[in-house]
Structure 1
Amino acid sequence: MIRTGVSVCCLVFLLSSTLHTGLSGPLAGKEAWDYVEVRDGAHMFWWLYYADSQSADFRDLPLVMWLQGGPGGSGSGFGNFEEIGPLNRNLEPRKTSWVQAASVLFVDNPVGTGFSYADGPDKFATNVATVASDMLVLLRHFFTEKKEFQSVPFYIFSESYGGKMAAAISLELSKAIAQGTVKCNFAGVALGDSWISPLDSVITWGPYLYTTSLLDDFGLADVSSAAEAVKKAVEQEQFEKATELWSVAETVVEQNTNGVNFYNILTQEPDEKVVALAGEDYISLQTRRHIRPLHGQSLSELMNGPIRKKLGIIPQNVTWGGQAEEVFSSMAGDFMRPVVDVVDQLLEAGVNVTVYNGQLDLIVDTMGQELWVKKLKWEGLPGFNKLRWTPLDDPVSPGVTGAFYKTYKNFSFYWILKAGHMIPSDQGPMALQMLKMIIQQD
């Protein structure tokens, strides 16, 4: 029955070239997608939705690129159909789609993520420097092919590990624009629940869980001990070992909390618990913990079935999400490296930087985000710290606080209430309001 329902909805979706699927759906012919070979044997997939606004032409609205986490999570799948795209997983119009306010570009990165693919094991990226270099090739190609977007404000929005990649990409993009090798109107980067300083996240897991009554004194001691082991490895710059110890720390958290959901501490379901299997290597375990939730069975069936057919350019030997574990494994040595210095460079260069975080997120808890923000060497930080935050009403519940925010010069921070790691999924109206505030602040 589920497959039949999806097929019926998908028939509507596949006819979108001649029919309008609804207020939040794509306009006729207002989508585009393609591959870019960013290195020999390394192919990246992108999917563009032109802004669908009744009050403005797409040329008068910004372009937003969305980067998913993992690494290995697919933006063309999860970000698109579970968070901000015009249609949800059941191919019904999404009322809080970001396509109402901006054109949206989903890119499956790093190479091997989603519909992106690598021809061989040596083609996967092993660090964010390569990720940024690959993305610059794609963006150069995109803005050359889609000249109509060269002058519109261009923003990079991200989630989780996507934020770490977004920071590095933004810095390289700024340099490329200055050098004239990429022509676009780069307007800012937004880092959502982002893996900017992994250690600051890990060392605050214990205190966060303790204050939310998810650890007792014994559990706090266990989690703190596991976090200290991660800290020692990071301080010694043993980053691959730190990634493995991070996995151990997550297991300790699970054991002491009866399987808390790392993405939203209030939404644990019985089948969400991930228990380490005897003899299982940590890469496979982390793939099950953090990639598989982004590639759920129903989403995988949609992407590898009707969507694959719609797109019509996916090579026969490529499966959506088929190389996700290799993507994560290849990045393991770079995974725990911080990029706080990159954010500092962005701020000093005058790039608009926004940090936003979900109140109920554990994997990248807000306490950890605030820790690394306080370490910034940016000259505007003292001024930012002197500001009190401003409350924002929940868009669907006037009079009820949905978020707080602070803005000083080119830096903003949004605290999103009642949201976990995937803010647009948990609090869609609030996420859409935040988007509009960010892209209109200039």
Structure 2
Amino acid sequence: MVSKNVKVGGGVFLVALILAGVGVVIWALIDNEVTEDTPRYTTEKLEPTGVLSGTHPVFTKIPGVGNMFWWFHHTKALGFTHDHPVILWLDGVTGIPPSLLANFGMFGRYDINLVERPNSWVNRYNLLFIDAPLGRGFSHPLSVDKIPKNIDEAAEHLVITLESFYEVMVHFKDTPIYVFGEGHGAQLALALVKKLHQNGNLFTVKGVILGNGLIAPVQTLTKLGFYLEELAYVDGNGRRAIESLTNMISTAEQVGRPDFAGQLFQTLGRAVNEEAGAVAVNLGHIVQKLTNESLHGTQDYYGQWEYLQSIDSKLNANTMNMIMRPLMGVSSTIFYDFHRQNVVNAFKDSLMISAVDKVEYILNYTDITVSIYNGNLDAVSNTPGQLEWVNNLKWYGQPEFLEKPRLPIFVNGLLEGYYRNSTGLQFYWVNVAGLSAPLDNPVAMDTILRGIIND
């Protein structure tokens, strides 16, 4: 299914699809044969032009599976670049691929107009964006059936991609790396770090950072009705309607039907607005009201695409295909986020499975710090619901974490949030921010980032 954001003239688009299909068939005939002598991966370095010529877009080609796309940006900080930490960013199944949102939309070196961003994170850190799982962004599978169906399979592709990264960027093998995951990408980040530890090769991972993560989605949703009623988006009847749905989701998970829980989860936006009486609320960014058209059309993963469009209409797949793709040196037969719906379909049975056990594993068996931040205007990953699982984690440092006071985050005299910091675990409340806190409150995130990395 082609993303609705890809808007190309009908005839041209049809021809392009035919050519792309021919390319896939030829590729399948050549690359589908995997033997014992087949390498674990090969690496294709692209040749970007224009202002992007100083960046490093790369495909990690996994034989018999597909091509993982990653994009590396050297820091602008003084000194040797490998002396500065690497930030790896992941967005997962329901998010917007990092090569677009994190890169051009939030904190990459250039904005979507290819104007250098003055407050980019590249001013202090090296940035690594990976479009994952396979099938998202410019990462593309050999065929639809090669798209991973669960988080652990997707994490294995990320492990291979990281191996490829260190082969290309050999000087960064000893550089501290921090793995960020936003939304569903938080599950990817956790699975990647756990798998690296189990493989006995953590590289130099120092921290995993979870932003508005779908870590325990079922448990978090138990607070959704309370959250929306307290903010006056629904009344008592609306809260009961929401709790009826979230109780069904919880029951489905408890009886071993995460697939059914996932199906119910995808009805959440319609249920809140049409049955609970919220009318026109974007669940990812509740201060933005939806239009009638978006309400009665297909809600795009709780309004993330719609919210992004309201900020800058150029932040879409069409821009990536028509403007960025040629500058990056990506083949014209590869369409940005072409397999997006296929990826969602592939993960539908596992989307609601809790990843709390992976958080506990990292806390109990590694020296890697876990940092969690949550924008307070995200209803799906609402902060009260997130604290339900955070405050009940089972690890040796939990008593210390719970005993720590919650302290304010002031920036230029303004209250931007709060934090609780203990050895191994940190939690940040981010004010005036929805699903994507670095986009909504970059000032707070800059302070939080400095606190996590201690720079």
Which TM class, normalised by the smaller chain length?
A: 0.7 to 0.9
> Which AA in structure 2 matches 1:43?
N
Q: 1:42 — aligned with what?
A: 66
Cα distance in 1 for residues equivalent to 2:82 and 2:443 = 24
| Partner of residue 219 from structure 1, selected from 210, 219, 238 | 238
Cα distance in 2 for residues equivalent to 1:233 and 1:75 = 32
| Partner of residue 205 from structure 2, selected from 170, 173, 186 | 186
Matches within 5 A, 1:317-328: 317-328=333-344
Cα distance in 1 for residues equivalent to 2:50 and 2:392 = 51
> Which AA in structure 2 matches 1:88?
D
| Maintained 8 Å contact 2:283/2:303 | no
* CA shift in 2, pair 1:271/1:56, >3 Å: farther
Q: Secondary structure at the match of 1:99?
A: helix
Cα distance in 2 for residues equivalent to 1:78 and 1:63 = 18
2:378 paired with 1:361: yes
Matches within 5 A, 1:144-163: 144-163=167-186
Shift of 1:39: 4.8
> Which AA in structure 1 matches 2:285?
N
Cα distance in 2 for residues equivalent to 1:430 and 1:30 = 29
Shift of 1:147: 1.1
> Which AA in structure 2 matches 1:402?
E
Shift of 1:291: 6.7
2:55 paired with 1:31: yes
Shift of 1:288: 5.8
Q: 1:7 — aligned with what?
A: none
Give the number of aligned pairs: 401
Q: Secondary structure at the match of 1:315?
A: coil
| Maintained 8 Å contact 2:84/2:176 | yes
Cα distance in 1 for residues equivalent to 2:132 and 2:57 = 14
Matches within 5 A, 1:388-403: 388-394=405-411, 398-403=412-417
| Maintained 8 Å contact 1:357/1:414 | yes
TM-score (norm: length of structure 2): 0.84
Shift of 1:167: 0.7
Cα distance in 2 for residues equivalent to 1:422 and 1:173 = 26
* CA shift in 2, pair 1:272/1:50, >3 Å: farther
Large movers: runs of 4+ above 6 Å:
none
Q: 1:58 — aligned with what?
A: 81
Q: 1:339 — aligned with what?
A: 355
| Structure 2 unaligned regions, length at least 5 | 1-47
Q: 2:263 — aligned with what?
A: 244
| Maintained 8 Å contact 1:247/1:286 | no
Cα distance in 1 for residues equivalent to 2:230 and 2:182 = 25
Q: CA RMSD in A?
A: 2.0
* CA shift in 2, pair 1:271/1:303, >3 Å: farther
| Maintained 8 Å contact 1:44/1:109 | yes
Cα distance in 2 for residues equivalent to 1:351 and 1:333 = 30
Q: Secondary structure at the match of 1:83?
A: helix
* CA shift in 2, pair 1:162/1:236, >3 Å: same
Q: 1:110 — aligned with what?
A: 133
Q: 2:7 — aligned with what?
A: none
> Which AA in structure 2 matches 1:73?
I
Cα distance in 2 for residues equivalent to 1:70 and 1:82 = 18
Cα distance in 1 for residues equivalent to 2:335 and 2:352 = 28
TM-score (norm: length of structure 1): 0.86
Cα distance in 1 for residues equivalent to 2:307 and 2:360 = 30
* CA shift in 2, pair 1:212/1:269, >3 Å: same
| Maintained 8 Å contact 1:74/1:114 | yes
- 1:58-103, Cα deviation, whole Å (9 max, x unpaired): 1221001000143363110111111111122222222331111210
Q: 1:26 — aligned with what?
A: none
Cα distance in 2 for residues equivalent to 1:39 and 1:245 = 36
| Maintained 8 Å contact 1:84/1:97 | yes
Q: 1:15 — aligned with what?
A: 50
Q: 2:104 — aligned with what?
A: 81
Identity %: 26
Q: 1:24 — aligned with what?
A: none
2:204 paired with 1:169: no
Cα distance in 1 for residues equivalent to 2:215 and 2:156 = 19
